[in-house]
Chain A
Amino acid sequence: MILSVGIDIGSTYTKAVMMDDTKQVCATAICRSGYKPASAAAAVFEDLVANAGVTKEEVTYIATTGYGRYMVPFRHTQITELTCHALAIAYHFPSVRTILDIGGQDIKAIRIDEHGRVRAFRLNDKCAAGTGAFLEKTARYLGLTTDDIGPYALRSTKPVEVSSVCAVFAESEVINHLSTGIPPEDIMQGAITALAGRAVQLMKRVGLEADYALAGGMTQNQAMIEAIVAKLGSPLNLPPHGLGQLNGAFGAALLGMRRAEKLLAEGQSIPAPGGEHAHESSANSPRRWSMYMPASIIYEDSTKSLVKGTPLKVIPSRQG
């Protein structure tokens, strides 16, 4: 049996998914990334194999993604999170063309084609105002935890306007609102509406083609989902079985599975982790894109369609 593991090392959480060759998820694990992404990845991998009831040696292939993807020495390969999100969403929902992923420190809008290939993307990782950090900060100023954000906001009856200009300046805004007697839930809902507005703005910049999907930790935040749906005027597809936050890891596991199957079909053995692929670019630091970068994507990987039943097509790299 082939066991493929995808590990997504994000700025805030490290997520892992293990799947077997029927593409069934055998186990998942999540932990906070902290300041040492490498140890977070190691810890989450320990949890994952324990949850699956297998040994590390039984794992066939390990693919990493996310901003800490180069910092994992025991990987076979690394894949950009754009590719992973695209593959995972295309696997669940072949009709989706625009994906939104709101992370802790960045936000991505990705346009994909019918084969799950990335056609365009826009990313903001320069300003916290458009990312999950904006909500986290607002919640902190209100004395709430991250888990409180959604449930609290849902209680709001009269959301107040919160400008989404700067997550730091939101503090004085929140304090001003509180001092005038506005309840925390209305302020929280105001922040969510502001963030949803920014998110839809970013989606418009990649073309806003239906259907839509949401990935990332925000899939657990009902208030956020409703706010985005309201701004979009269209429903959002959410990855099934609680795989929303694990979407990147799931995509990495899918691609890892495809790699492993190909190697085995060609009669080759799977190299030890940390081998050739991992070595090549281990000196590279994670790439950070500007929101204004043209929508050309430099693939780190031979990106292939993973939609069920579609023949494999190698996409030429569009760099240069």
Chain B
Amino acid sequence: MEYVAGIDIGSTQAKGIVMDEHGEIVGKAILDMETNMGTAAQRVFERVLANANLSPSDIAFTVATGYGRYRVTFGDLQVTEISCHARGALAEFPQTRTVLDIGGQDTKAIRIGDSGEVTDFAMNDKCAAGTGRFLGAASFALEMPLSDLGPLALKSTRPVKITTTCTVFAETEVIGHLAKGHLPEDVLMGMHHSIATRCASLVRRVGMAPEVTFSGGVSRNVAMVALLEEVLGAPLNVSSQSQFMGAIGAALYALDNLQAGRRSQHVEEGVR
């Protein structure tokens, strides 16, 4: 049996997927990013191999993606995260025509054509507003882990309108609202609203078509899913492994290469 790996080096977390030659996922791993992207890639690779009970020489082909993809020294091929996210979303939800991916430092809207090709995309990687970082600011200001934000926001009955665009100023605004006596859930819901509105306009820019798949770390946030469905007026596909969409897509590209008869240089030279 031969195996392939997909490594997604994001701004906030490194994700790894190992698949067998039939496309079955046999191992996955996720780690918080560290300063050195190369080291983070190495560590997530070791972790995913350990989870799959494999050694590096079992991996016939590795595709790296994400913003740190060129720092994955053991990668055989680099594929953009746009292609990988589209591929990953299609694998899980074949009817996907629009992908929204909200990551730690960027937000992407991807439009997929009927034959599965990427026809358009829009991306915000210049400004932290409308990315996961905006929730990071909320988590910092409210001194609360990211995973608690969604459930708490859903308790809101009177959301506060967040008027600032900039994440830096929003932090100040949140503290100001709390000081004025607004409830944390109401302030939080306001922050979620702000992100949802921004992301929805990104989706509209690529021309939304059903089905819509929501991926990236922020898709684990229940309030965000509910709000986006409301703003976009469409149900969203959310995978239980939505954080791994990019890595799954990368592994599928690796599988293509394997099936085309290509093997990792590392394996052929026996350096692993």
Contact = CB atoms under 8 A, between A and B. Distances in A.
A127 B169 CA distance: 8
Interface string A123-149: 001111100010001000000000000
Contact of B176 (A35, A129, A288): A35
A26 to B, nearest CB: 33
A175 B35 contact: yes
Given A36-B179, A168-B128, A179-B35, A128 B166 contact: yes
Interface in A132-170: 133, 137, 165-169
Interface string B123-152: 000111000010001000000000000000
Contact of B167 (A168, A175, A176): A168
A175 B33 CA distance: 12
Given A35-B179, A127-B166, A105 B172 contact: yes
B240 interface: no
A172 interface: yes
Contact of A179 (B36, B127, B128, B168): B36
Interface string A247-289: 0000000000000000000000000000000000000000010
Contacts of A105: 169, 172
Q: Say whether chain B's binding surface is mostly helix, strand, loop, or mixed.
A: loop
A133 B169 contact: yes
A19 B226 CA distance: 57
B168 A133 contact: yes
Contact of B105 (A128, A169, A176): A169
A24 B215 CA distance: 63
Contacts of B36: 179
Interface size, A (range): 20 to 34
A172 B166 contact: no
B43 to A, nearest CB: 15
Contacts of A179: 35-36
Contacts of A288: 163
Contacts of A126: 164-166
Contacts of A133: 168-169
B35 A166 contact: no
A19 B91 CA distance: 73
**Residue of A125, A128, A172 contacting most chain B CB atoms (<10 Å):** A128
**Residue of B126, B133, B166, B179 contacting most chain A CB atoms (<10 Å):** B166
B175 interface: yes
B57 interface: no
A166 B128 contact: yes
Contacts of A137: 168
A144 to B, nearest CB: 17
A165 B126 contact: yes
Interface string B153-186: 0000000000111111100100110010000000
Contacts of A125: 169
Contacts of B133: 168-169
**Residue of B126, B164, B165, B169 contacting most chain A CB atoms (<10 Å):** B169
Nearest to A179: B35
Contacts of A175: 35
B11 interface: yes
A166 B126 contact: yes
A13 to B, nearest CB: 14
Nearest to A12: B172
Contacts of B167: 128, 166-168
Interface string B200-243: 00000000000000000000000000000000000000000000
Contacts of A165: 126-127
A140 B169 CA distance: 15
Interface string B52-77: 00000000000000000000000000
A176 B35 contact: yes
A35 B128 contact: no
A172 B179 contact: no
A175 B11 CA distance: 12
Given A168-B133, A179-B36, A127 B179 contact: no
Interface of A: 11, 35-36, 105, 125-129, 133, 137, 165-169, 172, 175-176, 178-179, 288
- List the 9 closest pairs (A to B, CB-CB), nearest first: A128-B168, A168-B128, A179-B35, A35-B179, A128-B166, A168-B167, A167-B168, A127-B166, A165-B126
